Structure 1
């Protein structure tokens, strides 16, 4: 899924090879075409895509006109996938980045979404996770609400008993001291959170 922000052409072409579908969120369709690829669909309110008539005939155009959701949210609502890689949703305008985090927060309980930019990847996590990231990897944990953690394994700074909330406590710039890390949230209802890794760790999810 591609937004209208900055998109590395080489990265998009590489990731498109792993994808079952290629969706532009409004102006994201332009980013896809600029890369030399054909979007399977463009979804949004169509207020920023450059020229719908110039899109390949094979591209489905799905117009959603409500103004209560962003184009990224619209694209998520109109699609289903076990894993969504989202490019061009962060960077550039800061409000667009915040809107992307909002969309991930809303969808994290039912969708596995990975935001990808030129440096990092950020995975929306609802609940606990176990992942092989490699010893020495930078591991950042960022709350998207209020999240209590029951414990962790493989991290330099353990999360045992910590409660994180923006403006109170966050967990950026931790690191892995084992090849595999485990992060477990406390029992009860917990908000989603972001697991942020170097972009080079993306193959772990593919």
Structure 2
């Protein structure tokens, strides 16, 4: 099984920023229109997966021809979104990390479902994050070290009904043994006070959303 990073390019918001995330050795998985995005930019996906109902016949022909591997499914007779299907395929390969790109967009239901995929990766012990031009999102169940970068705002939101024992060090607005519950915005828009910050928690699943305006 491979231990390299897998970058999943789905059909949501994508741009030149996404191409900059690619590093040598990455496994590139294109999902539906995300596969065509890579091909349009001169990159052959290692794998293309989806029902391909969001591309034209000529675009699909290029995807089939220029992808190293290709896997299609029926657009109706399926129980998973294209992104979840690709995500599950990637998880089975046991990659060192999964980065989800183009999984946020105009369809909020799909965006929220894709955020929930972070819980599945956490359960499987595979590091995973969602990245777009202005956000980086990941999920923790114990602790994380946050380093200062281009994302200046750091928000904490519970993915479970409540998250307990939250302690923040190195942040402008520290917390000690705090509890966040669904429907409370206490964790929104914090900032680092130095070069690094630490987030610790006792129970629950906590979304970390790094963002910039």
Aligned 1:100-179 pairs, distance under 5 A = 100-109=114-123, 110-133=125-148, 137-145=152-160, 146-179=162-195
TM-score normalised over the length of structure 1? 0.81
Deviation of the 1:87 alpha carbon: 1.3
State whether residues 13 and 37 of structure 1, in contact with CA within 8 Å, keep that contact through their aligned partners in structure 2: no
What is the CA RMSD across the aligned residues, in angstroms?
A: 2.5
Return closer, same or farther for 1:195/1:150 CA change in 2, 3 Å cut-off: closer
Return closer, same or farther for 1:178/1:93 CA change in 2, 3 Å cut-off: same
TM-score normalised over the length of structure 2? 0.79
Helix, strand or coil: the match of 1:171?
coil
Deviation of the 1:158 alpha carbon: 2.0
Structure 1: gaps (5+ residues)? 200-206
State whether residues 112 and 125 of structure 1, in contact with CA within 8 Å, keep that contact through their aligned partners in structure 2: no
Structure 2: gaps (5+ residues)? 1-7
State whether residues 139 and 173 of structure 1, in contact with CA within 8 Å, keep that contact through their aligned partners in structure 2: yes
Deviation of the 1:45 alpha carbon: 3.8
Return closer, same or farther for 1:130/1:4 CA change in 2, 3 Å cut-off: same
Deviation of the 1:184 alpha carbon: 0.7
Q: Which residue of 2 aligns with 1:54?
A: 62
Return closer, same or farther for 1:168/1:121 CA change in 2, 3 Å cut-off: same
